[in-house]
Amino acid sequence: MGAKNHAVVMPDADKEDTINAIIGACFGSTGQRCMAITTTVFVGESAEWIPEIVERTKTLSIGPGWENADIGPMNNKTALARAERLIDPANNVGAKMLMDGRKPHVEGYPNGNWIGPTMYDNVEPGHAVYDEELFAPVFVAVRRDTLAEAI
């Protein structure tokens, strides 16, 4: 999968544990780790949890690690530019952007490599956020009706 780690969420999963795990796995380390889960495949009614994931994600802080921020800076300017290109809605036509993390204001750090949590829903193969390894704090939601379709 080209370092595109997927999680499949079934409707009978424990909601609280699943939401906490998804947020941590997606946004921890600013999504800049090989084991980040950027793509979550929601099966059936589990997709109803997406708005709650969005609301919880809005509470994540952006800033330097020494300030105990949830989302730190991107590794370098090149990584930031690549992430911004991949999350651009023009490269994801048909998907729904739920949160746009581009160009956040981080008090006291105007020149940092900042990108905030970004979230997309209704993503399919062919969208840049699905096809490319993101290595950034980006959540990608795919919806399927059955486990067989998810697999």
Residues identified as active-site: 34
Minimal CA–CA distance to 144: which of 53, 54, 39? 39
Pairing of strands 96-99, 118-121: antiparallel
**Start-to-end CA span in the chain (Å):** 12
Distance CA 124, CA 106 (A): 32
